[in-house]
Structure 1
Amino acid sequence: MRSSSYLMEHQQYRPPHKPENHYGIDTVVEDLQAASVSPREFSSFKGIPSPENPPKIVESGLSHELSHPNCTPLPGRHTDRLVATLFYRSTAPRVSNVIPSPQKGPSPQGGQSPSVRAADSDIPPTMAPSSSLDSFPLEPPAAEPEPLDHLYGSHVSSMCITSFLHLLSTFPLPQGVTDYNSAHRCLKLDGGQDRHPLVVELTVSPAPSLDYLSLADLRKHELIYRFEREWNVDVALQSDTLWRRYPRLVVFDMDSTLITQEVIDLLAATIKDPPDLAARVADITHRAMLGELEFDSAFRERVKLLTGLPASIFHELRSVLQVTKGVRPLLRALKRLGVKTAVLSGGFLPLTSWLAGELGIDYAHANEVVVDEATGRFTGEVKGRIVGKERKRELLMEIAEKEGIPLEQVVAVGDGANDLLMMDAAGLGVAWNAKPRVQMEADARLNGDSLLDLLFLFGFSEEEVSQLIA
Structure 2
Amino acid sequence: MAEGNPATAHRQPPPARPQLGGMRSSSYLQEHQQYRGPATKPEGHFGIDTVVEDLQSTTISPAKSFSPFNGVPSKDEPPRIVDGGSHDFTHPNCAAPRGQKTSKLIATLMYKANKKSTPLASSRASASNDNLPSPRLPKSDSDLPANMAPTTNFDDFPLEPRAANEPEPLDHLYGSYISPMCITSFLHLMSTFPLPPGLSEITSSHRCLDDPDHPLVVELTLSPGPAEDFLSLADLRKHELIYRFEREWNIDVALQRGSLWRRHPRLVVFDMDSTLITQEVIDLLAATLKDPPDLAQQVADITHRAMLGELEFDAAFRERVQLLKGLPVSIFEQLRPVLDVTTGVPDLIKALKRLGVKTAVLSGGFLPLTSWLASELGLDYAHANEVELDDAGRFTGEVKGRIVGKERKRELLLEIAAKEGIALSQVVAVGDGANDLLMMDAAGLGVAWNAKPRVQMEACARLNGESLMDLLYLFGFTREDLETLVE
TM-score above 0.5? yes
- The amino acid that maps onto 1:458 is F
The match for 2:252 is: 234
The match for 1:457 is: 474
Name the SS of the counterpart of 1:367 in structure 2.
strand
TM-score by length of 2: 0.74
Distance 1:92 1:281, change over 3 A: farther
Residues 342-395 of structure 1 show CA distances to partners (whole Å, capped at 9, x for unaligned) of 0000000000000000000000000000011x2110000000000000000000
Distance 2:92 2:346 in 1: 37
Distance 1:54 1:326 in 2: 52
Deviation at residue 398 of structure 1 after TM alignment: 0.3
The match for 1:90 is: 113
The counterpart of 2:173, out of the listed 141, 148, 151, is 151
Mapping of residues 313-324 of structure 1, within 5 Å: 313-324=331-342
Distance 1:277 1:141, change over 3 A: farther
Deviation at residue 141 of structure 1 after TM alignment: 7.6
Q: Is the 8 A contact 2:206 2:219 kept in 1?
A: yes
Mapping of residues 52-91 of structure 1, within 5 Å: 56-60=78-82, 64-91=87-114
Residues 265-322 of structure 1 show CA distances to partners (whole Å, capped at 9, x for unaligned) of 0000000000000000000000000000000000000000000110110111001000
Distance 1:455 1:171 in 2: 29
Distance 1:440 1:463 in 2: 31
The match for 1:371 is: 389
The number of residues matched between the two structures is 377
Name the SS of the counterpart of 2:387 in structure 1.
strand
**Unmatched tracts of structure 1, length 5 or more:** 1-37, 94-139
Q: Does residue 161 of structure 1 match 2:183?
A: yes
Distance 1:181 1:43 in 2: 28
Distance 2:465 2:76 in 1: 41
The match for 1:109 is: none
Distance 1:39 1:233 in 2: 52
TM-score by length of 1: 0.77
Residues 321-357 of structure 1 show CA distances to partners (whole Å, capped at 9, x for unaligned) of 0000000000000000000000000000000000000
Distance 1:55 1:184, change over 3 A: farther
Mapping of residues 93-104 of structure 1, within 5 Å: none
Distance 1:332 1:345, change over 3 A: same
The match for 1:389 is: 406
The counterpart of 1:440, out of the listed 443, 453, 457, is 457
Mapping of residues 400-411 of structure 1, within 5 Å: 400-411=417-428
Q: Does residue 339 of structure 1 match 2:361?
A: no
Distance 1:147 1:40 in 2: 55
- The amino acid that maps onto 1:340 is K
Q: Is the 8 A contact 1:85 1:237 kept in 2?
A: yes
Deviation at residue 189 of structure 1 after TM alignment: 2.5
Distance 1:427 1:141 in 2: 32
Q: Is the 8 A contact 1:269 1:278 kept in 2?
A: yes
The counterpart of 2:431, out of the listed 411, 414, 421, is 414
Residues 406-453 of structure 1 show CA distances to partners (whole Å, capped at 9, x for unaligned) of 000000000000000000000000000000000000000000000000
The match for 2:201 is: 179
Deviation at residue 74 of structure 1 after TM alignment: 1.2
Distance 2:419 2:229 in 1: 36
Tell which deviates more after alignment, 142-151 or 308-317: 142-151
- The amino acid that maps onto 2:259 is T
- The amino acid that maps onto 1:447 is N
The match for 1:256 is: 274
Deviation at residue 66 of structure 1 after TM alignment: 2.1
Q: Does residue 246 of structure 1 match 2:264?
A: yes
Distance 1:153 1:271 in 2: 48
The match for 2:380 is: 362
Deviation at residue 396 of structure 1 after TM alignment: 0.2
The match for 2:368 is: 350
The match for 2:235 is: 217
Distance 1:277 1:263 in 2: 14
Distance 2:471 2:76 in 1: 37
Q: Is the 8 A contact 1:326 1:451 kept in 2?
A: yes
Distance 2:81 2:92 in 1: 23
Name the SS of the counterpart of 2:209 in structure 1.
strand
Name the SS of the counterpart of 2:273 in structure 1.
helix
Name the SS of the counterpart of 1:257 in structure 2.
coil
Distance 1:168 1:308, change over 3 A: same
Q: Is the 8 A contact 2:374 2:381 kept in 1?
A: yes
> Larger radius of gyration, structure 1 or 2?
2
The counterpart of 2:440, out of the listed 423, 443, 446, is 423
- The amino acid that maps onto 1:70 is N
Distance 2:376 2:76 in 1: 55
Mapping of residues 184-203 of structure 1, within 5 Å: 184-189=206-211, 195-203=213-221
Q: Is the 8 A contact 1:54 1:66 kept in 2?
A: no
The match for 1:398 is: 415
Distance 1:379 1:69 in 2: 64
The match for 2:298 is: 280
* RMSD, aligned CA: 2.3
Distance 1:406 1:44 in 2: 48
- The amino acid that maps onto 2:418 is E
Q: Is the 8 A contact 2:434 2:454 kept in 1?
A: yes
Deviation at residue 69 of structure 1 after TM alignment: 2.4
Distance 1:80 1:406, change over 3 A: same
Q: Is the 8 A contact 2:262 2:426 kept in 1?
A: yes
Mapping of residues 23-34 of structure 1, within 5 Å: none
The match for 1:289 is: 307
Name the SS of the counterpart of 1:356 in structure 2.
helix
Q: Is the 8 A contact 2:93 2:203 kept in 1?
A: no
Deviation at residue 70 of structure 1 after TM alignment: 2.6
Distance 1:376 1:213, change over 3 A: same
Distance 1:55 1:72, change over 3 A: farther
Q: Which 4+ stretches in 1 moved above 4 angstroms?
A: 38-45, 60-64
Distance 1:84 1:248 in 2: 21
- The amino acid that maps onto 2:245 is F
Q: Does residue 467 of structure 1 match 2:484?
A: yes
The match for 1:26 is: none
Q: Is the 8 A contact 1:56 1:64 kept in 2?
A: no
The match for 1:137 is: none
Name the SS of the counterpart of 2:368 in structure 1.
helix
The counterpart of 1:142, out of the listed 164, 172, 179, is 164
Q: Percent identity?
A: 74
- The amino acid that maps onto 2:349 is L
Deviation at residue 71 of structure 1 after TM alignment: 1.8
